[in-house]
Amino acid sequence: MIFKRLIQPRGVGAALAAGTALWALPMNVQAEWALNLQRPVTEIGRVQYDLHMMILTIITIISLIVFGIMFYSIIRFRKSNGAQPASFTHSTKAEVLWTVIPTLILIAMAVPSTKALLLMEDTTESDMVVKVTGFQWGWHYDYMEEGVNFYSMLATPQSQITGDEAKGEHYLLEVNNHLVLPVGKKVRFLLTAKDVIHAWWVPQFGGKKDAIPGFMNEMWVRADETGTFRGQCAELCGKDHGYMPIVVDVVSEDEFQAWLAEKQKQG
């Protein structure tokens, strides 16, 4: 079961779709002993996941070949077995082969990777914009067109960190104000920072982007399903770098509008 999770190639064909259900089950929650990337919930996340599984499959095969040859040699060509050393020092045929084959594999890998990059960098035709500002140590979210903005900081009590109190289920991955996004909408994020470099990362959304003071970076997210998704700052930003989590609630359009109206009223 664990091994299956590790090598399950995903998204390579309909034949494997059945296996996907099996795999999706344990990875849905943030499991203990998790071996692989978290289950993606965006198109970018899925593309990254498929690329990851493709490369993982390729490197697993390569390493099996390398280790196979190595262990065969170790067992077969040992002096204690009476092996006599050969004296060859090169073989043009072999050397051409192990230069050309890797080149072809690399080209095969480069094509889907290029496509994926084009997809990721396309921030056009977004439905809404959220400006994210990292600071020491928390996040500020600004729904620029809707006129809603708020701070979002760690909600785990200090007593849980010091061990004076039992740690909760979402220890270190809980905040006071969740970022709320509508499901199925292309959200363009503008990222910047107030003091030092931070990086905004929700693993299930696919990838991270640096929030850099003096710069405005872009990324986009379209979540395919509702739910709560958790992440963390991914660039060392000082003392409390480990304590600036991200929590995103993806909700239906109606719920989102209701939430927005509520926030605007408070605002």
Question: Looking only at residues 101 through 140 of this chain, which bind another protein when binding is defined by CB under 8 A?
Answer: 102-103, 106, 109-110, 113-114, 116-118, 120-121
Q: Is 234 helix (H, G, I), strand (E, B) or coil?
A: coil
- The 10 Å CB-count burial string (b at 16+, else e) for 37-46 is bbbbbbbbbb
CB of 192 to another protein, least distance (A): 10
Residue (32 or 145) nearer to another protein, CB: 32
The neighbouring-strand residues paired with 213 are 193
Residue 228 parent element (H or E): strand 227-233
CB of 127 to another protein, least distance (A): 22
Strand 198-201 to strand 227-233: parallel, antiparallel, or no bridges (unpaired)?
Answer: antiparallel
Among 14, 15, 88, 254, binds another protein (CB under 8 A): 88
Residue (21 or 88) nearer to another protein, CB: 88
CB of 27 to another protein, least distance (A): 9
Any residues with CB less than 8 A from the CB of 17 and at least 6 apart, and which? none
CA distance 19 to 12: 11
Which amino acid is it at 228? T
Residue (97 or 258) nearer to another protein, CB: 97
Structure tokens, 111: 């094509």
Does residue 160 interact with another protein by CB under 8 A? yes
- The 10 Å CB-count burial string (b at 16+, else e) for 124-145 is eebeebbbbbbbbbbbbbbbee
- DSSP symbols for 114-153: HHHHHHHT---S-SEEEEEEEETTEEEEEETTTTEEEEE-
Residue (105 or 183) nearer to another protein, CB: 105
CB of 181 to another protein, least distance (A): 19
CB of 52 to another protein, least distance (A): 5
Residue 210 has a CB neighbour count (10 Å cut-off) of 18
Residue (209 or 222) nearer to another protein, CB: 209
Residues 41-70 touching another protein, rule: CB under 8 A, are: 44, 47-48, 51-52, 55-56, 59, 62-63, 66-67, 69-70
Among 16, 24, 35, 144, binds another protein (CB under 8 A): 35
Among 31, 144, 258, 261, binds another protein (CB under 8 A): 31
Between 176 and 195, how does the x/- string for binding to another protein read (CB under 8 A)? -------------------x
Stretch that binds another protein, among 83-91, 127-135, 141-149, 250-258 (CB under 8 A): 83-91
Residues 202-261 touching another protein, rule: CB under 8 A, are: 203, 206-210, 212-215, 217-218, 230-243
Q: Is 90 helix (H, G, I), strand (E, B) or coil?
A: coil
CA distance 215 to 235: 15
Among 1, 13, 91, 111, binds another protein (CB under 8 A): 91
For the chain, the first-to-last Cα distance in angstroms comes to 50
Does residue 95 interact with another protein by CB under 8 A? yes
HSE-up (13 A, CA, CB side) for residue 74: 6
